[in-house]
A and B are shown apart, each in its own frame.
Chain A
Amino acid sequence: MPVGYSIYVERPSLIHQRIDPRTKLAALGAVFVLALAFNHPAVLGGILVLVLLAAQLAQLSWRSLLPAMVGSLWFLVLSLLIWPFYVKGGPSLFILFGSTISVNGVLFGLAMGLRVALMVLAAGVWMMTTSPQKLTVGLLRLGLPYKAGVAMTAAIRFVPLLNAERITITEAQQARALDLKRENPFNRAVKSIAIIGPLFVRSIDVAQSLALALEARGFAARDGRTSIVQIGMTTTDRIILIALAAACLLAIGLRILGIGLITRAYL
């Protein structure tokens, strides 16, 4: 059996089980605000450590965080290569291609890399700790139209399903002597049709049967419906929400005062 693929990781942690999906969504938003409010690598690094602590509290393994971290590393390298040519100030380090590279430039490059890492990691931790069903219920309570909610859950549900289909199709075509690795890029693109074609047909098939199955079970017979997943705000949620709001206000205040910044010239 081909193994499916799902981002959400079930864990018996406080963050997984006790905290309302709406709170977690707010926390993700707050991390984004904080990441954009500061551009000093020390501050952003500090927030990154907080996100990693949250991941530990959620009992996520380091290994599961690795893809997000490796992905952000590229941005870190790229930003360290580009920003020093634009941001000046502070003691000069050396001259490269006729441009003076200064401490501030390097620090800002580091900060921008950390900012991307922070956002990617926070989004990753959020997806790994929030089950799609609970998230949908949360969004419905926030006023998302019901059908849109189902469409969203179905879309998330489709990812592992279609991945399994892709694996099967690839195997079936390999058994017909399709060897993409040995082809030049042009032929590889042309021959990929042997995998993309059946994948499209299968996804349309699956979507159609899902639509029929939903209708057969009374989908949209009435507006709104009950849900087997129950969510609710607790005191913990309220405390977290107040803390998040305070942190965001503080960050915006500090930004206006110019604290925690390398330069005011860039976001």
Chain B
Amino acid sequence: MAEPVQLQRMEPAIDVSEVRFRYSASGPEVLHDVSLRVEQGEYVALIGQNGGGKTTLAKHFNGLLKPVAGVVRTMGVDTRGPSVAELARTVGYVYQNPDHQIFAQKVRTEVAFGPHNLKLPPEEAARRVDEALELVGLREYADEFAFSLGRGLRQKLAVASVLAMSPPVLVVDEPTTGLDLQGSRNILDLLGRWNADGRTIIVITHDLALVAERVPRTVVISGGRIIADGATSTVLSEADLLGKAFLRPPQVTRVAQRLQKFGIASDVMTVAQLRAQLRLALGE
């Protein structure tokens, strides 16, 4: 008798279902009925103005906050059960300010903190630390004094210290704050390489130009609600919708939209795309 074929169903990386949240019982509701599904291997940007609920939502992903109503599942696990430290195995969370987490003297010790907390065997931990430092480009700084690194390098160190735990889902809160364009690009490229290995990445950011260049899916949060969710080129070209969250499409998209009557597409996201469109329109 043939066994019925069991379909290997892939759990979504993050499954937020009708979540409501308030910080205190008497306080205002800050998330209203939010539902969001992120599949494994996706690279998603979470955008919106300050106080809109981005970080509040993201803190639900690793159980730092528990929903007042509704359910959050990460890789199929209800976040209300395990502790944050247990969920850290599945969801890595990089904080906005690296100075909130750097405490060790040496760069290497700092990165090893997470793997040791996960009780990995020493050789495995050392291998992961080396890999993470290599990936972020801090290899030659491994024995440097952690606090003496510049802002951009400290940000990379913060990312590396979470990457070393090798979580299948990674949440990064405003990794580009205080970084120049080169530093911001480096961080997003780094996240892109990590994503290419099949890991899920959710990045919270204000930098729409970089999102347009590098992140395929965008979710807009405003006033505690998800007001848009889709392909970055679609979401970021809808000026009216972005306006509701006090955002504007990237500059190059706005230029393209002004040139629409000359046959330029309205969902241009990068300078290279606009150049190609212009060439086409000019019949080159």
Interface residues of A (CB under 8 A from B): 1, 3, 165, 168-169, 171-179, 181-182, 193-198, 201-202, 205
Which residues of B approach A to under 8 Å, CB–CB?
Answer: 23-24, 59, 62, 64, 83-86, 88-89, 91-93, 95, 97, 99-104, 113-114, 117-118, 147, 161-162, 165
Q: B101 → chain A, closest Cβ, in Å?
A: 4
Contacts of B91 in A (CB 8 A): 175
Q: Is there an interface contact between B85 and A174, defined as CB atoms closer than 8 Å?
A: yes
Q: Which residue of B lies closest to A175 (CB)?
A: B93
What are the 5 closest A-B residue pairs judged by CB atoms, nearest first? A197-B103, A179-B85, A177-B117, A175-B93, A177-B88
In the complex, what residue of chain B is closest to A182 when comparing beta carbons?
Answer: B85
Chain A at the B interface: mostly helix, strand, loop or mixed? helix
Q: Given A177-B114, A177-B165, A179-B117, are A172 and B83 neighbors across the interface (CB < 8 Å)? A: no
With A177-B88, A179-B117 as contacts: A205 and B99 at CB distance below 8 Å: yes
A182 and B113 alpha carbons, distance in the complex (Å):
16
Option from B23, B64, B99, B113 in Cβ contact (under 8 Å) with A174 = B64
Query: Are A169 and B101 within 8 A (Cβ)?
Result: yes
Q: Which residue of A lies closest to B91 (CB)?
A: A175
Selected contact of B100 from candidates A177, A178, A179, A202, CB within 8 Å:
A202
Instruction: Please name 5 pairs of A and B residues whose Cβ atoms are closer than 8 Å in the assembled complex, sorted by A.
Output: A175-B95, A176-B88, A176-B101, A178-B113, A182-B85
- Contact A177 B118, CB 8 Å, known A194-B103, A198-B99, A201-B102: yes
Complex alpha-carbon distance, A173 and B110, angstroms: 11
Q: B23, B62, B104, B147: which contacts A175 (Cβ < 8 A)? A: B62
Of B85, B104, B161, chain A has the most CB atoms within 10 Å of the CB of B85
Q: A3-B23, A171-B64, A201-B147 are in contact. Are A176 and B165 (CB under 8 A)?
A: yes
Whole-angstrom distance between the alpha carbons of A174 and B85 in the complex? 5
Q: Which of A175, A179, A195 has the most CB of B within 10 A?
A: A175
Closest to A171 in B: B64
Chain A residue numbers with a CB within 8 Å of B89 are 177
Q: Which B residue sits closest to A201, measured CB to CB?
A: B99
Find out whether the CB atom of B117 lies under 8 angstroms from the CB atom of A176. Answer: yes
> In the complex, which residue of chain A has the Cβ closest to the Cβ of B30?
A1
* A-side contacts of B101, CB under 8 Å: 169, 172-173, 176, 194, 198
With the chains together, A196 CA to B165 CA distance in Å? 22
Contact A168–B85 (Cβ < 8 Å): no
Which among A177, A179, A194, A197 has the greatest number of chain B C-beta atoms within 10 A? A177
